[in-house]
Structure 1
Amino acid sequence: MRFATDTGGTFTDLVVEDDDGNVQMFKASTTPDDPIRGVLDVLQIAADQLGLDRADMLGKGDLFIHGTTRAINAIVTDTAAKTALLTTWGNPEVLVLREGGRIEPFNFTVPYPKPYIPRSLTFEVVERVLYDGTIDIALDEAAAIEIIAQLKVQEVEAVAVSLLWSVVNPIHEKRLGELLAEHLPGVPFTLSHEVNPILREYRRTSAAAIDASLKPLMTAYMETLEARLRDAGFAGRVLVLTSQGGVLDAADVAKQPIHSINSGPSMAPVAGRYFALADVGASDAIVADTGGTTYDVSLIRGGSIPWARDTWIGQPFRGHMTGFPSIDVKSVGAGGGSIASVDAGGLLSVGPRSAGSVPGPVCYGNGGTEPTVTDAALVLGYLNPENFLGGAITLDLEAARHAVETKIAKPLNLSIHDAAAAILDVVTENMVQAIDDITVAQGFDPAQAVLVGGGGAAGFNCVLIARRLGCKELIMPQVGAALSAGGGLISELTNNFRVVAATRTDEFDHEVARSALAELTSRANAFLANTGDQAIDSRMTFSIEGHYPSQVWDIEVPLPQSAIDGEAGVAALEEAFHQTHEKLFAVRDDGSPVEIVGWRVDVAVKIRSGEIGQMHNIAVAQGSENRRCFFRETGVADVPLVSFADMHEDSKISGPAIVESPFTTVVVFPGSEARKVASGSVVIEILGENA
């Protein structure tokens, strides 16, 4: 038995897979004060519904896969550890100057962003390593010990070490690590050449700073998670979702917690790619995961999940860069808990403020007073107030109606139904704009892709989104309400390793290449040796980072083969670079050599079959065959209700209709038609001129 959980801003999702591949889904409210309690709560709900003692259920498990927003929340809320930075003498401004970029170059009213670690906690270490690795100024250990004494006085909780050219010769960083361990015991530290060995000074330093600041929190979180799961009866392996779309052992994430920043959202595109291919044979897809707080969108192009090389926490240039490439997921403040309001000028807005899990939407009855997207959907008749989350929560329709009427309808002089529909229209437009940023803005036509909807609130308006984008088909998977957790079930154990070693193709140094590839292979094999006996298959993928001479930025190019032999091997590498450059920028320079600055290996280990099984707890007890719903095309009318479980592959349902499971409601708007496919997903076709 395997368990996959995803802790979101509103709900904690759990997907349970038995040994026969059957899948069941469960949800519980997230507990922000103690997220692990929410995990244990949803495990208890699963055990109760399965008729098992929780300890007995957990005792059957061999894998527990966990996605968490703990790391990103600590950074966004400025609650990470008090961290100091040790850097080379004369280079204290690296986190202040950054790389000089601005979103609006001529808008000088925007304050310059504060460095991740303040200058008051940045210390200059007397040492200097040159670009070729030679030591120009030896490390002054006495002065370094004095600095460490100051760190102790200031009660620093973590230390980041980032010295110039440590990626070429890390001797001084390693020695500082030894001194920190000796003179500041118990305080975690991060060495930049270990966490992110790249040339870019700001990115490497930022990665070290962020990683160090998360170590106290995430080490405690991972240890507590494992300990409480053990106490609850789980004896298997605990894995954590990473920003790179894979999983790592919890102990490895504690050592380098920067990998957990986008832990949950990175799994939605993994699941979305699976369903796009399995359900409609599409290699291009838009994956939209609607949570209670955020709307996360990602893209599948040609069967591949694009990566973002410049990964920012917050706005580009105004936030903080992680220094790591990660799966390209764009998040906006739009979800089921997004709050709707009317400003003094009579303008309706929805989000980014969210009611979250506490107090939640008005209809939850937990003290919320401001109408949300969920309240609007309830007012429109799309939700069954008696069977929300399988009956776990009874929704207060009258409270939702009152909130929408007093806060939205009356200020806008609209009927209550028109006001609720307007809330859906506005949040739909916010979501479409987010999708445009990763499609149209990157030269991709969304009308040529299939839309995959995930998240418990996705079904309210996914048809409207597909219609606005021009998509012809929409997929609503059975596990869509917990899409990220479902992706966790088919994720692979992944890691990557890098080395800096410079050469160029017209003066190719085969010894440099052999040494770099040998080091990467050794580190990859060491990782594979510790993956345990659950590995089914593994693969290594090598790549280089390089540029044409005089170019400033590098691109990543997969190696045509794992070894570069003779002139033919160099020519093949050069051609691979030309092709990649042409694909990215529509231009190639065949007569130019390639300057290589870095080498990388990605390791992936398959620990499961790679399939998501059929769900078994999707039946809905319906009191009637119809429900009164409002659509602009029909007004208030009786609309047929259909359970996910009752749909058959040979049946088609024309809109307007409502398709329900205990965890999500899919609104089949007029002008669309729904059918069920072999995987259990509901595929909705946008008909006629709406497509």
Structure 2
Amino acid sequence: MRVSTDMGGTFTDLVVEDDKGQVQIFKSPTTPLDPLRGVLATVEVAAEARGESLAEFLGQVDTFIHGTTRSLNAILTGNTARTGLVTTQGHPDILLFREGGRTDPFDFARDYPAPYVPRALTVQVPERIGADGSVVRPLDEQAARKALNELRQREVEAVAVCLLWSVVNPSHERRIGELIEEELPGIPYTLSHLLNPIIREYRRASSTAIDASLKPLMGTYLHALERDLTHHGFRGRLLINTSAGGVQDADDIAEAPIHTIGSGPAMAPVAGRHYARVDADVDIAIVADTGGTSYDVSVVHRGRIPVTTEAWLGPQYFGYMTGFPAVDVRSVGAGGGSIAWVDAGGMLRVGPQSAGAEPGPVCYARGGEQPTVSDACLVLGYIDPQYFLGGRMVLDAAAAEEAVLRHVGRPLGLNAHAAAEAILHLATEHMVGAIEEITLNQGIPVEEAVLVGGGGAAGFNTVAIARRLGCSRVLLPGVGAVLSAAGALMSDLSAEFAATSRTVTTGFDRDGVREVLDDLWRRSEKFAEGPGSGAVETTIELFAEARYPHQVWELEVPLRVRRFASDEDVEQLRQDFHAVHEDIFAIRDAESPVEVVGWRARVRCRLNDTDKNPELVSASAGGTRHSRTAYFPETGLVETAVVPFELMEPGEELFGPAIVESAVTTVVIDPGAQATRTASGSLSVKIPLTQRRTTETTKEALPR
């Protein structure tokens, strides 16, 4: 049996896959002050639903996959370890100078961003490695010891080491690592050449500093998670989600916790791609994961999970860059817990503030006072207050309606239903904007794409979002309410290795490149034979990070060969780069040589036999078919059919207005739309051409 958990800002999701391939899904409120308690509480809910004790349940689990926002939240709230930075003498401002860039060049009121590690905790050591790997200036060990003693006096809790050109000759960084163990015993540290051996000093230094700052926190957290699970009967393998869309062993993640940043949202595209292929037979999917706090969007194009090397923590240019390739997911502050309010100018706003898990929406009756999107949906009749979380939580509908009226309805002169519709409509517009930003920038034809909705709050308005975008089809998987957790079950054990070695196609260094690629291949095989042993299938891919000469940025080009044995192989690389460049920038310089500055290897080990269990099937119990009054802008209040998700038979059609609900989610089928249950268990919604790209305004939300 395999279990996957995803800890979000509002709910912790859990997916249980048994040996027969059947899946049960569960949710439980996240406990921000004690996140491990929330994880175990969700596991207890699953055990209770199966009629088992916690020890009996965990004793059957072979693999426990965990996704967490712990590291990201620590960075955003400033709760990381007090970290010192060791740099080459004369270069203490790598993190301050960064790579430049301004989103608004005429905004001079915005303060220059502070470095991730302050100058007061940055020390310099006399040493210098040249770009060719030669020792220009030997390491002054006495001065290095003195610098480390300064950090000890400043009470640092972690140390990051990033020296110039350590990626081609790491001898000085290795020695400083040894000195740290002597001078600062017990203090965790990160060496840049081991973590992220790439060129570009800022990215390498930033990733090193971020990783070191997370080691005390994440090491403690992961070890406590493993200890608690073991104490309650778990004897299997603990895996952690990574930002690259894979999983790794908990012990490996504790050594490089930077890979957990953004790991939860990275799993949704994995599941979205799967269901787009199975249920719609398309390779273009817009994957939207709606949680309680955020709305995460990604686009699967040509069947490939989107990857970016521009992963920022916080606003672009003003936040911090991770320096690692990561699944490209864009987030906006719009979710079920997003707070609605009217500003001083009389304008309705929704988010980015969120009620989170504590106190949560007003209807949770836990102290929340401001209305949220979830409160609005309850007022509209989309949620059954007696069946929330399968009846484990009863919602206060009267309190939600009063909050919507007090904070939105009366200030805008609207009744409760019109105010609630206005809140949901504005949240929908925020979500549409997030999708349009990523699809328009990449030239994605939305009319050819399928919109895959995930997250507990996805069903409220995914059909409305598709209508605004012009999508003809919406997919809401049976496990859509826990899409990221389900994606983790589909993901591979993976690792990535990088090396720096510059060459040009006009004078290709075959011997040097062969050594680099052979080393990357050996490291990949070592991973496959170690953590990946016993995998159903293992794949190793090689990539070149290439550019036209004098370009600033590189593009990733898949290699067709393991070794460049002939001029034809080199020419093939050049032509492949031209094709990638044209695909991204719509232009190529066919006569130009190509410069390669780095090389990467990605190894993926498939742990489960997807041929044996190709589909995830919901195994949760349902209720009965009935109806209730709900509000739609096209019809006003209308008696609406309510169908339990589990009772819809494959091929059964349902015409809107209608509501399909389960213990963990609610799907609103707008008037005119047609829903069908697919063979895999997904809900497929078709939107008539006449309803797509309709221009809706807040006038539709006014009282009728």
Structure 2 residue aligned with 1:189: 189
Structure 2 residue aligned with 1:171: 171
Q: Is the 8 A contact 2:472 2:689 kept in 1?
A: no
Structure 1 residue aligned with 2:28: 28
Q: Which shifted more, 433-442 or 467-476?
A: 433-442
Q: Distance in 1 between matches of 2:495 and 2:689?
A: 46
Following superposition, the deviation at residue 532 of structure 1 comes to 5.0
Following superposition, the deviation at residue 502 of structure 1 comes to 1.3
Q: Distance in 1 between matches of 2:328 and 2:131?
A: 32
Q: Which runs of 5+ in 2 are unaligned?
A: 693-704
Q: Distance in 2 between matches of 1:602 and 1:218?
A: 24
Structure 2 residue aligned with 1:641: 642
TM-score (norm 1): 0.99
Q: Is the 8 A contact 1:671 1:688 kept in 2?
A: no
Aligned letter for 2:278?
A: A
Structural RMSD (CA):
1.0
Deviations 1:15-69 (A, max 9, x none): 0010000000111110111111111101111111100111011111110000000
SS, match of residue 316 in structure 1: coil
SS, match of residue 115 in structure 1: coil
Aligned letter for 1:298?
A: S
Q: Is the 8 A contact 1:490 1:609 kept in 2?
A: no
Following superposition, the deviation at residue 620 of structure 1 comes to 2.5
Structure 2 residue aligned with 1:597: 597
Aligned letter for 1:231?
A: H
Q: Distance in 2 between matches of 1:552 and 1:499?
A: 19
Aligned letter for 2:679?
A: A
Superposition map of 1:392-403 within 5 A: 392-403=392-403
Does residue 615 in structure 1 map to residue 631 in structure 2? no
Q: Is the 8 A contact 1:163 1:173 kept in 2?
A: yes
Superposition map of 1:220-239 within 5 A: 220-239=220-239
Deviations 1:611-649 (A, max 9, x none): 342111041256xx1100111111111111111111122
SS, match of residue 617 in structure 2: coil
Q: Distance in 1 between matches of 2:443 and 2:569?
A: 33
In structure 2, the CA distance between the partners of 1:621 and 1:357, relative to structure 1 (3 Å rule), is farther
Q: Is the 8 A contact 2:478 2:682 kept in 1?
A: yes
Q: Is the 8 A contact 2:542 2:602 kept in 1?
A: yes
Structure 2 residue aligned with 1:412: 412
Q: Distance in 2 between matches of 1:395 and 1:58?
A: 31
Q: Is the 8 A contact 1:676 1:682 kept in 2?
A: yes
Aligned letter for 1:205?
A: A
Aligned letter for 2:289?
A: D
Q: Distance in 1 between matches of 2:685 and 2:171?
A: 59
Q: Is the 8 A contact 2:362 2:399 kept in 1?
A: yes
Does residue 293 in structure 1 map to residue 296 in structure 2? no
Q: Is the 8 A contact 1:239 1:247 kept in 2?
A: yes
Structure 2 residue aligned with 1:664: 665
Q: Distance in 2 between matches of 1:646 and 1:223?
A: 42
Q: Distance in 2 between matches of 1:281 and 1:252?
A: 36
SS, match of residue 110 in structure 1: coil
Q: Distance in 2 between matches of 1:650 and 1:240?
A: 37
Following superposition, the deviation at residue 108 of structure 1 comes to 1.3
Q: Distance in 2 between matches of 1:7 and 1:345?
A: 37
Following superposition, the deviation at residue 581 of structure 1 comes to 1.3
Q: Distance in 2 between matches of 1:511 and 1:675?
A: 58
Q: Is the 8 A contact 1:298 1:328 kept in 2?
A: yes
Q: Is the 8 A contact 1:4 1:488 kept in 2?
A: yes
Structure 2 residue aligned with 1:150: 150
Q: Is the 8 A contact 2:493 2:532 kept in 1?
A: no
Aligned letter for 1:678?
A: A
Q: Is the 8 A contact 2:246 2:492 kept in 1?
A: yes
Structure 1 residue aligned with 2:47: 47
Q: Distance in 2 between matches of 1:55 and 1:345?
A: 56
Q: Distance in 1 between matches of 2:270 and 2:525?
A: 25
Q: Distance in 1 between matches of 2:127 and 2:274?
A: 51
Aligned letter for 1:27?
A: K
Following superposition, the deviation at residue 563 of structure 1 comes to 1.3
Q: Distance in 2 between matches of 1:438 and 1:612?
A: 29
Aligned letter for 2:656?
A: G
Structure 1 residue aligned with 2:691: 690
Deviations 1:323-366 (A, max 9, x none): 01100000111100110001111100001111111111111111
Aligned letter for 1:616?
A: A
Aligned letter for 2:239?
A: L
Structure 1 residue aligned with 2:540: 540
Superposition map of 1:267-666 within 5 A: 267-531=267-531, 533-610=533-610, 611-621=614-624, 625-666=626-667
Q: Distance in 2 between matches of 1:224 and 1:437?
A: 40
Aligned letter for 2:296?
A: D
Q: Is the 8 A contact 1:649 1:675 kept in 2?
A: yes
SS, match of residue 667 in structure 1: strand
In structure 2, the CA distance between the partners of 1:117 and 1:142, relative to structure 1 (3 Å rule), is same
SS, match of residue 24 in structure 1: strand
Q: Distance in 1 between matches of 2:621 and 2:510?
A: 59
Following superposition, the deviation at residue 268 of structure 1 comes to 0.4
Does residue 71 in structure 1 map to residue 71 in structure 2? yes
Aligned letter for 1:344?
A: A
Q: Which runs of 5+ in 1 are unaligned?
A: none
Following superposition, the deviation at residue 533 of structure 1 comes to 4.4
SS, match of residue 266 in structure 1: helix
Q: Is the 8 A contact 1:390 1:620 kept in 2?
A: no
Aligned letter for 1:276?
A: A
Q: Is the 8 A contact 1:160 1:209 kept in 2?
A: yes
Q: Is the 8 A contact 2:389 2:664 kept in 1?
A: yes
Aligned letter for 1:505?
A: T
Following superposition, the deviation at residue 688 of structure 1 comes to 3.3
Q: Is the 8 A contact 1:160 1:208 kept in 2?
A: yes
Q: Distance in 2 between matches of 1:663 and 1:233?
A: 27
Q: Which shifted more, 641-650 or 30-39?
A: 641-650
Following superposition, the deviation at residue 251 of structure 1 comes to 0.5
